[in-house]
Amino acid sequence: MAPLEPYEQVLIDDAYLEEDPHAEIACEQCHGGNPRASKMKAAHKGLVPDPTYPDPSKACGECHEEIVATNKTNLHVSLNAYKDIIGKRASDNKGVRKKVFKAMDTHCFACHSSCGQCHVSRPDSVEGGFVEGHVFQKTPPMDTNCTSCHGSRVEMEYLGKNKGLPGDIHYIKERMKCVSCHTGEEMHGTGKNYTCRYDVENAPRCKDCHEDALGPQAALKTHRIHNGKVSCQVCHSVAYKNCYSCHVGKDKKGIPYFKTDKTEMAFKIGLNPRPSKERPYKFVTLRHVPVSKETFAFYVKDGLPNFDVLPTWKLATPHNIQRKTPQTERCKSCHGNKKLFLLEGDVAPEERAANKGVIVPNNAVPR
């Protein structure tokens, strides 16, 4: 998505002033600054560009009290998942740990959302700018907001932008948008402090819509046979993006940058790293995440000595669902087809210890 021209980013549309009830509130009440000053510098003194981050209670809370109440536990705001997984891998040494988290502050934590960055502007991480001249969007637009952050994986998969691979049937056939499955209730958080999106209780499940197709009474024999044993994506997903070795640092001017070594399209079935009541499956699709032992090497030596406590091939729910896939052609498409499974040889030697719980032993590939 191309960034907006600088003037467009801050241009207020007449529609906002004429139709949006939020325009009844004076600008300075949310954003500060001095509306009487005639010079830009003086007018912008004390300006708060996003008054909804990190604490939206003053700007939004007066009217939207219930939604704001759970804001701190909203994963898009708390970024608890990053904190948890890096925290587990990071050194126990206080000084080293502090440097790791400082690096995360500069890089990883720069990608967060807020009320304003979903409902008024594009997210800061993609240079911001009003979505529609400051008109509040009850439903955040998919293309300017959701996929501007979730672009390289979700957008490419869902819309079918990966060369030679089809888009998700929910989009291609039904034109479903992100919010068709990911509701406002899910996005706003529940008040429970989750550390992983797969634990979120009101996150969408296939069975929410396809209840009859699942379970021991399912009409399709293959669904009955595989019920509870494999995730839906194992049969109904196709190749998806895997990224490797992300390094972060600062350039000569002190501007933060990141580098990832390679990206590859692959489809790998592995052992379920986090079986739960909702996902009891033995086999799931796994995606390689870009973390590496040296991710924070620019800031601190040996920052992630506990690297092996978590797999680098993570539980994945690729957004490229198909009714028919190479796996659904016949039984032998999967059974005995070792190429589909994450075997030891597929994992880099330095990451094998981390992934021992998800690598499928040769003798465990279904025959």
Partner 1 sequence: MVRPKGKGIWYLGAGFIIFLGFFLLWGVSDSAQSQDESTCISCHTSVRDLVNITREIAAKAPSEKSTESEGEG
User: In which residue are the tokens 């500069």 written?
Assistant: 106
Asked if residue 87 binds partner 1 (CB under 8 A), the reply is: no
Number of residues this chain uses to bind partner 1 (CB under 8 A): 37
Q: Is the Cβ–Cβ distance between 289 and 268 less than 8 Å?
A: no
Which of 33, 61 has the CB closer to partner 1? 33
What is the number of alpha carbons within 13 Å of residue 178 lying toward its C-beta?
Answer: 20
Among 54, 62, 258, 345, binds partner 1 (CB under 8 A): 258
User: ω into residue 305 within 30 of 0, thus cis?
Assistant: no
Spatial separation of the C-alpha atoms in residues 165 and 12, rounded to whole Å: 40
- Report strand pairing: 283-288 vs 256-266: unpaired
| 172 binds partner 1, rule: CB under 8 A | no
Q: Does 246 bind partner 1 (CB under 8 A)?
A: yes
Please select the residue that binds partner 1; options are 54, 256, 275, 336, rule is CB under 8 A. Answer: 256
Query: CB of residue 6 vs partner 1: minimum separation in angstroms?
Result: 4
The stretch among 166-174, 251-259, 270-278, 300-308 that binds partner 1 (CB under 8 A) is 251-259
Given 253, 323, 332, 339, the residue binding partner 1 (CB under 8 A): 253
- Does position 46 interact with partner 1 (CB under 8 A)? The reply is no
Site string for partner 1, 215-244 (x = CB under 8 A): --------------------------x-x-
Q: What is the DSSP string of 155-200?
A: IHHHHT-STT-PPPHHHHTT---HHHHS-HHHHH--SS--SSGGG-
Please tell me the distance from the alpha carbon of residue 22 to that of residue 120, in angstroms, as a whole number.
Answer: 11
DSSP state of 4: P
28 in Cβ contact with 149 (< 8 Å): no
- Name which position in 45, 88, 259, 338 contacts partner 1 (CB under 8 A): 259
* 223/214 Cα distance (integer angstroms): 6
14 binds partner 1 (CB under 8 A): yes
Q: Using the rule CB under 8 A, which residue among 260, 276, 328, 362 binds partner 1?
A: 260
Q: Does the protein bind partner 1 through residue 2 (CB under 8 A)?
A: no
Q: Which distant-in-sequence residues (6+ apart) come within 8 Å of 45 by Cβ?
A: 33, 34, 37
Nearer CB in complex with partner 1: 184/256: 256
The candidate with the shortest Cα–Cα distance to 72, out of 85, 89, 87, 54, is 54
Least separation in angstroms between residue 89's CB and partner 1 is 18
Q: Which lies closer to partner 1 via its Cβ, residue 10 or residue 200?
A: 10
Contact residues: partner 1, CB under 8 A: 5-7, 10-12, 14, 17, 26-28, 31, 33, 35-38, 40, 43, 152, 241, 243, 246, 249-251, 253, 255-263, 290
